[in-house]
Amino acid sequence: MPQRLKEIGEKAKAAEPQLRTLGAAQKDRALLKAADMLVSHTQELLKANAADLEQASANGMKPALLDRLRLNPERIGQMAQGLSQIAQMADPIGEVLHMGKRPNGLLIGQQRVPLGVIGIIYESRPNVTADAFGLCFKAGNAVILKGGSDAIHSNIAIAKALRAALAECEVTPDAIQLIEDTDRAATEELMRMNDYVDVLIPRGGAGLIRSVVENSKIPVIETGTGNCHIYVDEYADISMAVDIIFNAKTQRIGVCNACESLVVHEKIKDALLPVLQKKLSEKQVELRGDAAVCGVIAGVKPATEEDWGTEYLDYILSIKTVSSLEEAIAHINRYNTGHSEAIITQNYEHAQRFLNEIDAAAVYVNASTRFTDGYEFGFGAEIGISTQKLHARGPMGLRALTSTKYIIYGNGQIRP
């Protein structure tokens, strides 16, 4: 391992004992100071960001990506506000989940503790630097950040401001460390830092996530791709179905909880599809359907096998017809990515069966898949949406960044 990364790992480990025992008041004071520091460093942040933007432009980065990379006073204010909001959230650390006395008198409790050291690998949005730090820190963890090379100057400036805030509050600045090497080798080394990092969370596109899952020797929490389905049951309210599909498909297209695929019961297709097509045409949504769909409405491209498994993140919707609830559930469980799935139905038994039998982080009856989100679920800010089953599933707030330990109060007990 390169010396520079080894040092980062050792500093993170050295920060753990202080972070493990920091009180909520001190953590919140440091978060508010960090928020202030971002705002008071606006000029430095903008200057660093300008260097990133200039280089990215010169490298031919597309306008949409340039926009994700761009900082302005408003966006810096939003980062600061994000940290202030995290300061308002309840401290998860120290909570005793349950505690009870055993017949031998041992009092055994399970207490929430930090995970330790969290690694975050992300792409070009510099705001992740502040957001990820805030959540990891509030949950008592040290964080090692590896951002995209496009945002390196911005990330360095943000991390510097955050570290200065911690130091002012007598908290070790090593609670946040940024890997400044921008090459791929540094990312690969980070994925092998088992001795220093307890968990890796990749934040970004499907390619990044797959690469981390496949190459990391550290446990990974897999976030995000969402090939989300809505199943319109034969007993659906058509007007509700159209509203929900329109919302889930078009309210924001580039997000993981947007609807990508529709499954329609054959008995309702004739009534639903023409109305739906008209509504979706308001946003020029391209439809790709199976033969039955193409038989009902015109202007639909034939869907291929590949369509069923594709997360478009675009104004495109695939549509599959089925002849039963069972067929719908089997299709969704085969092609989904374990994110968010919905049924539209007025039938009680079908609703319950869908909830029980669909294998996904969030399963909805009669609501838009777009609600799978930390704020919408009531946890506040989130570090991502887990699509795996281990440790955390669904929107991950502060609790997902914690572990537990057993604490046992005895008075001399020995095992017979």
Q: How far apart are CA 129 and CA 149, in angstroms?
A: 13
Of 254, 268, 262, nearest to 280 by C-alpha is 262
149, 336, 368, 387: residue in contact with its own copies (rule CB under 8 A): 368
**Site membership for its own copies, residue 361 (CB under 8 A):** yes
* Sequence letter at residue 263: V
Ramachandran area for residue 380 (φ above 0: left; ψ -120 to 50: alpha; else beta): left
In the complex, the smallest distance separating the C-beta of residue 113 from its own copies, rounded to whole angstroms, is 8
Please say whether the beta carbons of 45 and 161 come within 8 A: yes
Of 148, 146, 129, 136, nearest to 192 by C-alpha is 146
Which of the ranges 34-42, 111-119, 166-174, 293-301 carries the binding residues for its own copies, by CB under 8 A?
111-119
Indicate the Cα dihedral angle 66, 72, 75, 79, nearest 10°.
110
54, 188, 270, 359: residue in contact with its own copies (rule CB under 8 A): 359
**Site membership for its own copies, residue 370 (CB under 8 A):** yes
Number of neighbours of residue 219 by Cβ within 10 angstroms: 14
In the complex, the smallest distance separating the C-beta of residue 380 from its own copies, rounded to whole angstroms, is 13
78, 247, 310, 347: residue in contact with its own copies (rule CB under 8 A): 247
**Site membership for its own copies, residue 367 (CB under 8 A):** yes
Which of the ranges 128-136, 154-162, 277-285, 361-369 carries the binding residues for its own copies, by CB under 8 A?
361-369
Contacts to its own copies from residues 386-415, by CB under 8 A: 388-391, 393-394, 403-415
**Site membership for its own copies, residue 355 (CB under 8 A):** yes
3, 17, 43, 284: residue in contact with its own copies (rule CB under 8 A): 17
36, 243, 311, 327: residue in contact with its own copies (rule CB under 8 A): 243
**Site membership for its own copies, residue 20 (CB under 8 A):** yes
In the complex, the smallest distance separating the C-beta of residue 303 from its own copies, rounded to whole angstroms, is 23
377, 381, 382, 396: residue in contact with its own copies (rule CB under 8 A): 377
Phi and psi, residue 199, nearest 5° = -155, 145
Which of the ranges 77-85, 130-138, 238-246, 268-276 carries the binding residues for its own copies, by CB under 8 A?
238-246
Specify the pairing of strand 384-386 against strand 142-146: unpaired
Please say whether the beta carbons of 262 and 232 come within 8 A: yes
Contacts to its own copies from residues 140-199, by CB under 8 A: 194, 198-199
Q: Which CB sits closer to its own copies, 60 or 412?
A: 412
Contacts to its own copies from residues 112-151, by CB under 8 A: 113, 115-116
CB environment 53-89: b (16+ within 10 A), e (fewer): beebeeeebeeeeeebbbbeeebbeebbebbbebbeb
- Residues shown for the chain: 416
Number of neighbours of residue 123 by Cβ within 10 angstroms: 19
Q: Which CB sits closer to its own copies, 115 or 328?
A: 115
Of 203, 210, 314, nearest to 259 by C-alpha is 314
In the complex, the smallest distance separating the C-beta of residue 235 from its own copies, rounded to whole angstroms, is 14
90, 96, 106, 167: residue in contact with its own copies (rule CB under 8 A): 106
In the complex, the smallest distance separating the C-beta of residue 325 from its own copies, rounded to whole angstroms, is 13
* Sequence letter at residue 96: V
1, 240, 271, 275: residue in contact with its own copies (rule CB under 8 A): 240
Q: Which CB sits closer to its own copies, 23 or 73?
A: 23
Cα 303 to Cα 7, 260, 290, 291: the distances in Å are: 52, 13, 6, 8
* Cα–chain center distance at 320: 28
Q: How far apart are CA 94 and CA 114, in angstroms?
A: 9
Positions that interact with its own copies (CB under 8 A)? 16-17, 20-21, 100, 102, 106, 108, 110, 113, 115-116, 194, 198-199, 213-214, 217, 219-221, 237, 240, 243-244, 246-248, 251, 330, 333, 351, 355-357, 359-368, 370-372, 376-378, 388-391, 393-394, 403-415
